[in-house]
Structure 1
Amino acid sequence: MHNRLPKSVIHLLSVVCLILAFLYANKQLEPRPRDKTRDYLSIYFPAPAQLIQSFGDRFLATNVNTLRSFTVGVDILPPETVATQALLQRDAAFFNPYNSDNYYLAAATLPWNGHLTEAQYILKKANNALTQDPLPAFFYAFNVLHFEKNTELAAQSLRDSARKIKDEHTKTALNALAAQWLANKKTTRAAQTLRIMAKETKNKNFSKFLENKALRLEILISLNNQKRQWEKTNQKKINTINEAISSGLQLKEIKDPLGGTLIIDPKGEFNFKDLK
C-alpha cells in the first residue's frame, strides 16, 4: 500500500503554492516606488541617416518613425521627447505622406504640445497626397482656426480641399463647415464669400442655403451697426429685444431667411436663434 499522494494532487498543491507565493511577493512590493521603464525618445538622426538605417527604403523609414512615435505613450512627456517625436513624424511625412497613422497621431498630439509648425507640415503633406480623405483638410483648417485664430484662412483651406474631393456629400460637408465658420465671423467679407460659394456649388439646395446664410449675415451686420450707433449716440445699452423696439429700431419687418428667431445674445449683439 502506497502512502504517496496522487500526482494530480501534487500538481494542484504546487500551483496553489506558486499562486500564494506570487500574491505574497506582489503584496510586499506594493508600497515600494516603481521606476518608470519607458525608454523616452531622446535621439534624433537626420533623414539621410534614417534612410541608411532602413536600407534605403523610405516606406520602412516611415513605419519605423511612426512606430517609435506611437510607443512613447499618451501621458505627460518631457519637452525633448515631444520635440524628437515632432521631427520623426515630420520626416515620416516627407518619406511617405500617404501614411494615415502618422497624420492621425500628429493631429492628436503635436499642436497641443507646442509643435504646430510640424503638425501643419504633416497635415498639409497628407492633404495633398490623400486628396479624397477629408480628415487632413479638417485637422489642418481646425488648427488654423483654433491656434492661429484666422477664420477666413481656415475656411479657405476647407474650400480648397473640397474642390479636390469627388464625393459630393463630403464636398458639401466641408463647404458647410467653412460656411459656418464664416457666418460666426459676422463680416461683410464673410457674407460675400458665402455668395461666391453659393455660385460655385452644383448642389441647388446647398446653394440656396448659402444664399440664405449670406442674407442672414447681412441682416445681422446691419442691425448690429444700427444698435452700436444708437448706443453711442444715447450713451445707453440695449439689452433686450423690447428695449430695441422701444429705442426705435425697426425690427418688426425683420425675418430670418433660415427661419430662426431674432434675439440679443449674451454678448449684447443681435443674433438669430435656430429652431430645433
Structure 2
Amino acid sequence: MNRRGKQLPQAIALIGFSVFATVWGTRPPSDNALPTAAFDRVVPSAPVQLLMSGGDRFLAANLESIRAVATSSEAPGASEYNASFAIRARRVVAQLNPCHEDNYYHGNALLTWGGAVTEGNDLLRRATECRTWDELPPFFYGFNRYFFLHDTEGARAALETAAQRATDNAAGFRKFGIMIEAGEIKDDTVALDFLQRERTQTADPKLKGMLDKRIIRLQGLIALRAAQQRYEARFGQPLTNPKALIDSGELDAFPNDPLRIGYEFVDGRFRLKELKVAGLERP
C-alpha cells in the first residue's frame, strides 16, 4: 500500500473525532438532563460513529455493541444510569445495523426484562423488519406485546409472522397465538419458563448473572399475585391496598427486586414497574 493509502484511514479517523468533539462541545444545554454521574459513558451518535469507523456501518455497530456489553454494570443503586447508557448504546447500534443479532437478543433480555419495555420492543421491531428470515425477533416481540402490554391482537400478528418464517416450529407459534386469543395462557408461569430457558441456553456467564436477577424479579411478581389470590379467596373481596397482604399474614414481607426497580399495584393488579430515565422518555 502506498503512503497515501496508509494515510487515508488516519485522516478519516481524525475527521470523525473532530466532528464528534465539535458536536459534543457545542451541544445545547438540556433542562431534562441526567445527573452528571450518568454521563461517564458517552454514546456518540450514529453518524459520528460511522465517520469514526471509516464509513463501515457494520463495523461501527459491532464495536458499539461490544462496548455496550463490556461496560455494563449492575452495581447497587446504578440501575437508572446503566439503563440510560444501555438504551442509548443499543439504540445507536440499531440505527447503524438493525439486523444486528446480539443487539436485539441482549436488548430484549436486558432492556425489556429490566424495565425498559418500550426501548427493548423497539429493537425487536427493527430486527423483525430487517431480519426477514429470522423467526426469533417476531416471536420475542409478540411475547412482549402479550405479557407486558396485554396487546392480544398485536401479539398474534407478530406470532403469525414468526410462524411464516419458521422452519420447524410454525405450528407451535400459531398454537401460542391461539391460546393467547383464547385466554388460556398462565402468563406468569410461561414468562418464568421463558426466562429460565433463555438462561439455560446462553453460554455467557455474565448474561446468566443478569438473567438471574430478572428471574428473581419475576418470581417476586408471581409471589405478589399468588398472595393476592389467596387474600381475595379468604376474604371474598378484591384487594384494594397491597399493605393488607402483610396485615393479613398472606405475606411476611414484600419481595425485593434485585434490579431495584420494584413493583406497582395498578387497577387492582400487581405488575412489574417500568424504568423511567430522565431525558429518554418518548413523547
Q: TM-score range by the shorter chain?
A: 0.3 to 0.5
Which one has more relative contact order, counting CA pairs under 8 Å at least 6 apart?
2
TM-score by length of 1: 0.48
